[in-house]
Structure 1
């Protein structure tokens, strides 16, 4: 059997590279959430990370390992938004050009922030595409080959995976023993890195992934024992609109993740409102996936100590207000 793409030593090395650069994000508690679920919940607030999401961890870890020649030529990435911002910011910090391939319908706030991070870096640009008609990977590989750029994908890369795993490492080191860890699942970069870190520190921990109902490719893949490809899912969780797990991430998920659950878009909106009202936190739909599973009853973890990764907080304010207003009207 082939070894997994990353091990705990890779996560530790990533943590050393990120020290003093990435934020050590806070762990939030809520008595209301604990009472509702019967569990002790520890929310790792990656919505408070630099550029507003966990993606900064993997992006900086990957780019910081570039050779001088790679830095001079620059980096290329494709992303719906958070990886785009993370690469653009990391490239700026490391003084290299970045070219980002983003869907035309990416959230306006994510697109604007990406361009802002690139503003002072010569040779940097955003290339737009139609996510329902064009292949972002094909576009990215073509541009990278033409310009000599190094491609860093949003999840299927060992350096990215190891960087993302530092979120779980910090959580476990701060709060101690956990019985379960809930993590959102898109392409699997976050959950694979977190699973490696958490299972090394706490061998008995149950790592649970959470996907949107419309995009349960990883759940299907685990059931079939092979990577399942799906059409681009129609979900408000834009960060989880992936079509398949990665070649590097899926074997880690198979080996270390107990199961993958799903939640509906309606449950994500309810969870967004919970964080706004109770914890005064802006959490984007994708960032609510893991929390929605436990808060909305998709999994029963009563009596357990549970870590929950809030993966990001980048959401257009107008749309965010609309989400909260809709929920308010539905619950009156």
Structure 2
């Protein structure tokens, strides 16, 4: 295989097939991130695509060209987004779909896949384990396999994101694209570079799952020992053979971001852009925020590839993000066990401008002296400086504080 297995004409043909099925998603300016990065940032909102991810594009394009080859249905392996795309496309084509997903796949992605009528099989600890089981099912049933990324028709479908981006922002100078197996960046880079060779294409991987970066460093596709990251949509141990060739030909740079950096990007997108974005979708913003690439003064489009994030993960990210920003504090102290003591403590917090989220008052705990009571508090503060003011004020009043992690 070579990179020429997917052409600009293939991507344009895919655009025609997908009309009326997939949304032309918005491209929105993001002034908040402009100020933080010195870059004119535009967000390509694939998190608002049907099924919540760009993956619908490639799945629909592949199934549209299968024809009689899909007579016994289709089978796919996915961490979640490709699963939903294949399930949706199969329902549109009135053919059965079996999707193999990792056992730890987010519940929301599993349930959404089932809601589109697919039969879901949970297998293994990650995408690669699910892929092996999907191949076994293909051999057992004769179903057509729809690869999550290493397929020309899938890549062509994903490339329609690039065509839309150029149509909406012809003067774009840099495009940041999430990278897992490489299907999205291969299609997007092909579409953009063939039309505008001067546009810089930057791939962004999770630091704990850098399969494409490793392939580029070694000059060949290799398999990582593990791929554990909150960006489950790009937690892939092995890049595609075709996608690797296309990345080598079209992509200018690949950078990585840590889970902490991804979590911060998710939180900032939620709070300031009012967008729900999953870990894989937030890596481009993470790269900008943490200076992983040179984009200052340029017009940069960031593809937010998906928004299918488990609400439990969102909750954890919000709480951890608030703690790191000095906007959330949990502490423990001991007060005298007599009327008015708790009120005095709470009044001090109110005077300092802290918002009390919760209070737990325990006077019978064995480790607490009979004349005292233990109090645990959760507080909301404005920032790290305000948090320190609160702690210092209580300490000056004689409270012995234990900050809880």
Q: Which TM-score bucket, shorter chain as reference?
A: over 0.9
Aligned length: 326
Choose the corresponding residue for 1:239, options 233, 237, 240: 233
Structure 2: where are the runs of 5+ without partners? 327-405
- Across the aligned residues of Structure 1 and Structure 2, the Cα RMSD in angstroms comes to 1.4
Choose the corresponding residue for 1:257, options 251, 254, 267: 251
Are the aligned partners of 1:219 and 1:259 in contact in 2 as well (CA < 8 Å)?
Answer: no
- After the TM superposition, which of the residue ranges 181-190 and 238-247 deviates more from structure 2? 238-247
Cα offset, 1:2, TM superposition: 4.2
Cα offset, 1:274, TM superposition: 1.0
1:12 aligns with 2:6: no
Q: Distance in 2 between matches of 1:71 and 1:146?
A: 15
Match of 2:81?
Answer: 82
1:215 alignment partner, SS class: coil
1:253 alignment partner, SS class: helix
Match of 1:141?
Answer: 135
Match of 2:29?
Answer: 29
Q: Distance in 2 between matches of 1:213 and 1:266?
A: 10
- After the TM superposition, which of the residue ranges 73-82 and 229-238 deviates more from structure 2? 229-238
Question: Structure 1 residues 36, 144: CA separation in 2 closer, same or farther (over 3 Å shift)?
Answer: same
Are the aligned partners of 1:269 and 1:327 in contact in 2 as well (CA < 8 Å)?
Answer: yes
1:303 aligns with 2:302: no
Match of 1:117?
Answer: 116
Choose the corresponding residue for 2:196, options 197, 202, 213: 202
Cα offset, 1:234, TM superposition: 1.3
Structure 1: where are the runs of 5+ without partners? 119-123
Q: TM-score, normalised by structure 2?
A: 0.78
Cα offset, 1:247, TM superposition: 1.1
Counterparts of 1:125-274 in structure 2, within 5 Å, are 125-131=119-125, 135-274=129-268
Are the aligned partners of 2:3 and 2:246 in contact in 1 as well (CA < 8 Å)?
Answer: no
Q: Deviations over 1:248-277 (max 9, x none)?
A: 110000001011000010111110111111
1:280 alignment partner, SS class: coil
Cα offset, 1:38, TM superposition: 1.2
Cα offset, 1:130, TM superposition: 1.4
Structure possessing the higher radius of gyration over alpha carbons: 2
Q: Deviations over 1:114-144 (max 9, x none)?
A: 01111xxxxx411111126983333112211
Q: Deviations over 1:100-127 (max 9, x none)?
A: 0111100000000001111xxxxx4111
Are the aligned partners of 1:166 and 1:197 in contact in 2 as well (CA < 8 Å)?
Answer: yes
Cα offset, 1:296, TM superposition: 2.2
Are the aligned partners of 1:37 and 1:300 in contact in 2 as well (CA < 8 Å)?
Answer: no
Question: Structure 1 residues 297, 19: CA separation in 2 closer, same or farther (over 3 Å shift)?
Answer: same
- After the TM superposition, which of the residue ranges 41-50 and 321-330 deviates more from structure 2? 321-330
Are the aligned partners of 2:24 and 2:164 in contact in 1 as well (CA < 8 Å)?
Answer: yes
Are the aligned partners of 1:5 and 1:252 in contact in 2 as well (CA < 8 Å)?
Answer: no
